[in-house]
Amino acid sequence: MESEDYKISFFRPTTQRALINRNLTIKLFIVWAVAIFGFQVLLKIFEKPVPEEALVRFTPAWNNVLSGQASEKDFQVAGQSMVQVMGKLTLSRAEFAAIQDGVGWMLSNVYPDDELSGLQQDVQKFNSLREQITSLQDSEYLAARELVIARAAPALGIDEGSLLAQLLPMGLTDNMAGIAEENKQKIPEIMYLYMTHNRSFLTDTVFLGFPFHYFYTAVFLLILFIALCWYYCYKIDRLHARLNFAEKTD
């Protein structure tokens, strides 16, 4: 009785075609792996922590605030930088609350004392409306937000038409009397965490209008994958022709 063995092993090829196919597949896999993971290794090797401009400005201003030697400009710079961090979507509730505390403290130090209670009432009304509305287009809510922006943004040196001004109402509470001691310790850590980024010439170089690392991972690696697939098909077709290999068809 005729016995047919259909067992096929990629790692132990039994024919010349299977051997060549295995070696070609392994070579292309190595190229693919080096292209992907090698680039990640290069990013780690060359990266250096680089602070955002807002953090560079924040640090001396905050130190002056803590030492009691802050000018109005220092309060404004520190407040602006903290409002900028409010736009980070990954802030935890505790981090956001600490930044809120800090912004309110900065604002209370530059706002006229006789007008501060009025601002706090406006903020309280805005926060109350924010919890009640069912649409962000609610006219009363929008009016309350614009009022808070008009009163608070200029005090912190923020342009009323800027993105920072739009973030500002979300970062205010009606308690601006002071700041919790623990938040004084937290805020510099939060600022450093969210305003420091690992960068190198691989991320700063612009290629075809894109940061190089973005172009490489989003465009080049996709093209490389297609090229490797095409090359594999091309080599296998050549192999079949050389070995006079033809698939059996009905």
pLDDT tens-digit profile, the chain (250 residues)? 444 555 667 677 777 777 888 888 999 999 999 999 999 999 999 999 999 999 999 999 999 999 989 999 999 999 999 999 988 888 899 999 999 999 999 998 998 888 888 888 988 998 888 888 888 888 898 999 999 999 999 999 999 889 889 988 888 888 887 788 899 899 999 999 999 999 999 999 999 888 999 999 999 999 999 999 999 999 888 888 887 766 655 5
- DSSP letter string, 36-51: IIIHHHHHHHH-EEEE
- Classify residue 219: in a domain, yes or no: yes
Residues 167 and 219 in one domain: no
Residues 192 and 105 in one domain: yes
Whole-angstrom distance, CA of residue 171 vs CA of residue 179? 14
Residues 167 and 226 in one domain: no
Residues 97 and 57 in one domain: yes
Residues 117 and 237 in one domain: no
Residues 153 and 127 in one domain: yes
Residues 53 and 134 in one domain: yes
- Tell me the pLDDT tens digit for each residue of 138-172: 889 899 999 999 999 999 999 988 988 998 888 88
- Classify residue 30: in a domain, yes or no: no
Q: How many domains does the chain have?
A: 2
pLDDT computed for residue 4 by the predictor: 55
Residues 86 and 209 in one domain: no
Structure tokens at 250: 């009905």
- Classify residue 230: in a domain, yes or no: yes
Under 8 Å between Cβ of 5 and 197: no
pLDDT computed for residue 1 by the predictor: 44
Whole-angstrom distance, CA of residue 172 vs CA of residue 127? 9
CA-nearest of 87, 84, 57 to 73 is: 57
Say how many C-beta atoms besides its own lie within 10 A of residue 72's C-beta: 11
Residues 209 and 123 in one domain: no
Under 8 Å between Cβ of 83 and 164: yes
Q: Residue 29 burial (CB < 10 Å; 0-12/13-18/19+)?
A: exposed
Range(s) of the domain holding residue 132: 49-199
CA-based torsion, 174, 178, 182, 185: positive or negative: positive
Residues 148 and 237 in one domain: no
- Classify residue 19: in a domain, yes or no: no
Residues 62 and 138 in one domain: yes
Structure tokens at 7: 């067992």
